[in-house]
């Protein structure tokens, strides 16, 4: 574990375990590198070097007031990969982290990247516009910001208790431990970063980024995702990528790397070894 300091003085916390080909994990909003614990242990035991960082304003990284946008997220990731001098890396991003991975590769090039995988990811564009009529209305994201500003702790209990992991679906047994761990990670981070981050993940258009990427990308998404609706995300991203493969999971929720870790890890390992 260590930190890397970016050009604007932000300290980015990261974990770096093992040796072998590096896999770099980018977490979702408003979580931290800890959200990848299951994946990191799995791939560490399969001989990979596993790295995960806390996005600026999240987890143990600096709670800076500025820079909570995809350009800074991508540049921070580039600073980390340069600091560790990573080569032939596989980048894996969940949700907002999927957008971070896509923007990083498009913005900083593929010289250090071998493959990528994005899970339940926000590209191409979440918010509804004239060009993206299938997106979610901006009022949805305005409401998320309002709930965060009113009572972040309550909001961070309600989201994992319901739609994030599909615990609001009939017959699904909720896990109090998973809910508590989501709340713990969220409350470690800064309210300002999380408030601004809602705009970053919902209003950034990744269409141009996806078109630039030539390395193989596995697009993994559950068709019962209540956070990033399937139809306006994964199939569109896979079509825009030059070398994209779509893997659809019937009934899986947004937080599928946690709730269905065995399936996700096995499929990701197959992709890495292919």
The catalytic residues are: 95, 225, 254
Chain CA centroid to CA 124, Å: 13
Of 59, 58, 108, 55, the C-alpha closest to 86 is: 108
If you count DSSP H runs as helices and E runs as strands, how many of each does the chain have, helices first? Answer: 11, 8
Of 254, 253, 247, 251, the C-alpha closest to 270 is: 247
Q: What's the start-to-end Cα distance of the chain, in Å?
A: 30
Of 73, 40, 78, the C-alpha closest to 58 is: 73
Rounded-to-integer distance, Cα 249 and Cα 252, Å: 6
């Amino acid at each position: 574990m260590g930190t890397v300091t970016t050009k604007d003085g932000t300290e980015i916390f990261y974990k770096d375990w093992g040796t072998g080909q590096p896999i770099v994990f980018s977490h979702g909003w408003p979580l931290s590198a800890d959200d990848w614990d299951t994946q990191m242990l799995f791939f560490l035991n399969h001989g990979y070097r596993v790295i995960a960082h806390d996005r600026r304003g999240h987890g143990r990284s600096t709670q800076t007031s500025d820079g909570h946008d995809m350009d800074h997220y991508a540049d921070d990731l580039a600073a980390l990969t340069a600091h560790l001098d990573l080569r032939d890396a596989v980048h894996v991003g969940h949700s907002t982290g999927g957008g971070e991975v896509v923007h990083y590769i498009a913005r900083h090039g593929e010289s250090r990247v071998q493959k990528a995988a994005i899970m339940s990811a926000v590209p191409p564009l979440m918010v509804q516009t004239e060009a993206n009529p299938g997106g979610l209305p901006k009022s949805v994201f305005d409401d998320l910001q309002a709930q965060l500003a009113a009572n972040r702790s309550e909001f961070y209990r309600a989201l994992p208790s319901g739609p994030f992991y599909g615990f609001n679906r009939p017959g699904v047994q909720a896990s109090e431990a998973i809910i508590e761990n989501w709340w713990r990670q969220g409350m470690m981070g800064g309210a300002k970063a999380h408030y601004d981050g809602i705009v970053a993940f919902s209003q950034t258009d990744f269409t141009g980024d996806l078109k630039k990427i030539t390395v193989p990308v596995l697009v993994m998404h559950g068709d019962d995702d209540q956070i990033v609706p399937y139809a306006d995300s994964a199939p569109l991203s896979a079509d825009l990528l030059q070398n994209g493969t779509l893997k659809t999971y019937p009934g899986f929720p947004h937080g599928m790397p946690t709730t269905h870790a065995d399936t996700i890890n096995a499929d990701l390992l197959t992709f890495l070894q292919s």
